[in-house]
Amino acid sequence: MNEEDLKQMGKRLRNALGPLKNAELERDLWPEMVRKLDQTTVHVPWFDWVLLAGLGVALWFFPALLPALLYHI
């Protein structure tokens, strides 16, 4: 297939498909992206903070728990 054949084929394909409609974006997508990023903020309820603090205290007073914990994770 030579250069001329490729050009002809390209022309035929373009004619067959027709012009693209709505090729441009209808709106700016960035504000939506920012909104989506804001939504992904993790909300941690107070009892989970209490649980995390209790966990820290337990490991602080009983560091021997750490190897057993790592073995099970």
Partner 1 sequence: MGKHIYLRAYLAGIAVPTVLLLVAMTLYTILRVIYRFPVPIERVIVFPMAIVPNLWGLWNVVYVAFLARHRFPLGLHGDALVFLVSPLGFLFARVLEFPLPHIFFVLAPIAIPVGLAVYYLAWKYLVGFLNAELGIA
* Residues of the shown chain interacting with partner 1 in the complex, contacts defined by CB under 8 A: 42, 44, 48, 51-52, 54-55, 58-59, 62, 64-65, 68-73
- Rounded to whole angstroms, how far apart are CA atoms 6 and 2? 6
- Rounded to whole angstroms, how far apart are CA atoms 36 and 30? 10
Q: Which is nearer to partner 1, 6 or 58 (CB)?
A: 58
Q: Which is nearer to partner 1, 34 or 58 (CB)?
A: 58
Q: In the complex, what is the shortest distance from the CB of residue 33 to partner 1, in angstroms, rounded to a whole number?
A: 16
Tokens standing for residue 32: 């939506």
